[in-house]
Amino acid sequence: MVRSGRFGKLLLAAVCAAIAGACATLPDGSGPAPISFRGMPPLFLDVGRIEIDNRYRSPATAPNVEHLFLEPPAIVVRGWVRDRLRAAGSAGALRVTLRRADVVETRLAPDGGLRGLFTTEQTERYDAVIGVSLEILDAAGESRSRINAEVRRSRTIAEDVSVNERQVIWHEMLRALAGSLDRALEEQIRKHFGDWLERPRT
């Protein structure tokens, strides 16, 4: 009986691993809405272009899980740049550097004893980090001003969640993380990029 239980767990793990790639969208089409900033006013900067430099390379293997997300964090950052920033000048550049976009899974030790038998335990914790820097470059490519932001979120997941429920929880954690990043970057842009920030357009 002990062997059968262990086999069942191994089989379940194998099935989950096999279908993980198919979970980019939920089977019934009712997945969470994409993370977007299109409803927010863009920030117009006096630069000729906006560049994205993705320095983060996901290992795409455990304990990292960001590559299994409906929208990986790196894609969400690109969406933020697209939706919130505008190049409104004729020279220079804004360089957006993605330094971190990782989500790491940590297995939690079971409580054990009677309490573990009669409670639904939290079996995994997910720690997500997004680190971004924005740098104003003049026409000669020299740095004029730079800001940095790093935001974090953690979430635990119970042992009885389904594969689809796990995807939804991950997505909502990333949505909250993206909101924190948006607020942190806008605050710093207004504070440190004032010489390049144009008035809102009507």
Instruction: Give residue 181's Cα distance to chain centre.
Output: 9
- Which residues are paired to 4 by β-bridges? none
pLDDT digits (tens, 9 = 90+) for 144-178: 999 999 999 999 999 889 999 999 999 999 999 99
pLDDT digits (tens, 9 = 90+) for 79-126: 999 999 999 999 999 999 999 999 999 999 987 655 555 466 899 999
Instruction: State the CATH architecture for 40-192.
Output: 2-Layer Sandwich (3.30)
Residues 55 and 13: beta-carbon distance below 8 Å: no
Given pLDDT bands bounded at 50, 70 and 90, which one contains residue 199? confident
Q: Would you say the C-alpha torsion 171, 123, 153, 56 has a positive or negative sign? A: negative
Nearest to 132 by CA among 88, 180, 83, 195: 180
- Farthest-apart Cα atoms in the chain, separation: 72
- Which residues are paired to 145 by β-bridges? 136
